[in-house]
Each structure stands twice: as C-alpha cells, then as structure tokens.
Amino acid sequence: MGIYIHIPFCASKCRYCDFFSRVVNNEQDKDAYVDALCQEIKLQKNYLDTLKIDTLYFGGGTPSVLSIKQLERLFAAIFQVFELEKNNEITLEANPEDLNIFYLKNLKKYTPINRLSVGLQSFSDAELDFMNRKHSVETSILAIKNAQKTGFENITGDLIFGLPNQTLEQWNNNLKQFFELNIPHLSAYSLTIEEGTVFGLWKKNNKIKEVDEELSLKMYETLILEAEKKGYQHYEISNFAKDGFIAKHNSSYWTGQKYIGVGASAHSFNQKSRQWNVANIKQYIASIKNGIIPAEIEILSEKDKFNEYILTGLRTYNGLCLSKLELEFEQFYKKIKQTLFNFVNSNFIDFKNNRFILSSKGKFLSDAIMSDLILL
C-alpha cells in the first residue's frame, strides 16, 4: 500500500513537460497548498482497507522546492493517520539545483526520506539548455556526490533520449557519465513531443521535428545493452536497477496494488475504482477547505480490470501470467488470444514459463502493442 503526494510547483517549466505543474515561487502559496494536503490526508483515512503503508512518494512538479519545514508538516500529518511499515521506501523527486549539501543534510536529519529521484535528464549542457533545465552538468554531478556523501544510498536518476538532433554518440556519453556516478537505479525515457508543451508548439511551427524512429530504437537498444553490462536489471520498460534497488512504489502501480493519491491532479486506486483530483490548485484548495475531496470517480468494470492488467503487466519483466488470464479473465482473454500469439510469432512478445513478456524489440513498440491488446 502506498501514498503518492503531488507537488505541482516548479521554479521553471521544462519545454517537454506535460505534467500538471505551475511555476510558483511564493512561499505563502506553497504553505496554503501544504495546508490543503495535510487536510486531504485526514479526509483520505478510510480510502484503503488498512492504515499501514510501506511506500510514500513525493512527485511533481518539483517536490524539492518545498522547505524542510513544509515537508515536516506533511510527515506529521501522514503519521497522525497512517502507520509506516518496516522496510519502507520514501521517495522525494528533486532537481539537482535544489540538492545542495545543506538541504541534503536537513533531509536526513529532519525527515524519514530514504530515496531520491533526481531529474538529471542529460549530461550535456547544450541539451539541458535546449530543454530549459535550470541546472548544469556540474551541478548534477555535485548533487549526486553530495547525496551519496550524506548517506543517501537509494538514488535514481532520470535521463531522456531521442531529443531532436541528438546523436547516438551524445546518448552514449550521457549513459557513460551516469554509470560513472554509480547511481543504483536508472529511469530512461524516449522523448514524446506532446501538444500543449513548448516542444509541441515548436513542432507545429516546424522549428523542431521528432528524432528518426530507427535512431531512437538504436538509442533504446544501446541503453538496454549498456545497462545490462553494468549489472542493472531491466525490470520495466523504462526502468533499470541494481540488485536490491527496484523501485517499490512505482512497482506497486504495475502490480495492481492499492494506493492513495493526494494533491491537485493526483490519482487514487483501490482495485474497485479509480479517482482523480481536479487539476487546478485554487479549486483543489477551496474544496479541501470545505472538507470535500474534489475528485471524479470511475467504478472499474471487469473489462476495465482486464485492460488494466494488460497495460501494467506487460510493462514489467514479469509480463502477463497465462493462468491469471485464463482463470480471472477467460472471456476477455479469448478475444485477444490470437493477437497475443501473433505478437509471439513475430518476436515482439516472448512466451516462456507460461508468461507473455515483451521482447527487446517489443518494448520499444510497447504502446502500439498494448493498444492492439486492450478491449474497447
């Protein structure tokens, strides 16, 4: 069981980002939002059938723009309601420019955060500037080294590949620098240019174009190969971990476990229904002040649950279990069985030990494959 807390604040907006976030630097606005989060945590008390949780995840936005005092207030509210299991995982997403030695030492001293997710994105200053990132390569390296010095062993870093005009050599340099820092977990994403982003506007106006698919595939293959050489397990389409560092919280999403989402735009899931909060900070705060969680709710049908299993299961190294498909989703499995085995025959999916698992070729085309397998 886990809790996700959405912090929608950023010091600046990245040109590729379509997540719900706003540029906010006013401490009063942040305090008002934290107040609402603390109140929603109490309102969500009965959403799960247990008050025991084993993962907490602060995502965004940029949660590291919160002060230590604001984080302390959130933890106090959480622990008034919920009980933390042993061997817990508590993650804070952070940008490198926020992870100075003073902030890191205080995170260690005053909060139970034991995992950092650092938005590195690239080890090229030119690429960082192109994405409108506010840190330099030097800042990234210092942030990771300072985190390691202050006792944060469980660290993950994000990288993006497939940037317009990025070469395979540049991508190799990014991977080389990442592995030299001995970061035990890597999340690497192929750039998707979304409408509503700066990159989306630039693409529309023909200022940039998406990288050639063949080159992007080569970058992904290089990622898989180099990560394997360095002893990382490729346990999810975009995620690689050394032994003992698989992300517990994110894995709970992919294995269908229950979780609470707190904050504007946050999603919650209890295996029976899914709900999502309004993606508007002012509306969110006003509603919570009135004791109402501003959420839309969707009751999941059996077909919804089947589609959910396809979308989450195929993302991971465990894949889809044939027995589960036959026993729990028999009527739906019959409808996709031929398509599933067509993907096996074309080497996009491996079938072994009674499990359907995406091949390396299939992982790159995962969205298209899943689209063909889910039922409308």
- pLDDT tens, residue by residue, 112-144: 999 999 999 999 999 999 999 999 999 999 999
Per-residue model confidence (pLDDT) at position 2: 95
Q: Say which residues have a Cβ less than 8 Å from residue 355's Cβ, sequence separation at least 6.
A: 318, 319, 320, 321, 322
Calculate what percentage of the chain has a pLDDT beyond 70. Answer: 100
User: Nearest to residue 82, comparing CAs of 4, 152, 155?
Assistant: 4
DSSP H helices, the chain, are: 27-43, 68-81, 101-110, 125-130, 137-149, 168-180, 198-204, 213-229, 248-254, 281-289, 302-313, 322-328, 330-345, 360-364, 366-373
pLDDT(364) > 90: no
User: Nearest to residue 2, comparing CAs of 267, 316, 336?
Assistant: 267
pLDDT(25) > 80: no
Query: Which of 18-22, 111-115, 290-294 has the weakest average pLDDT?
Result: 18-22
Per-residue model confidence (pLDDT) at position 23: 87
pLDDT(324) > 80: yes
- Superfamily covering domain 2-253: tm_1862 like domain (3.80.30.20)
Per-residue model confidence (pLDDT) at position 104: 98
**Where does the pLDDT of residue 169 fall: very low under 50, low under 70, confident under 90, or very high at 90 and above?**
very high
**Looking at domain 301-376, does it have CATH number 1.20.272?**
no
pTM: 0.94
Per-residue model confidence (pLDDT) at position 337: 95
Q: Per residue in 40-70, pLDDT tens? A: 999 999 998 888 999 999 999 999 999 999 9
Domain ranges of the chain: 2-253, 301-376
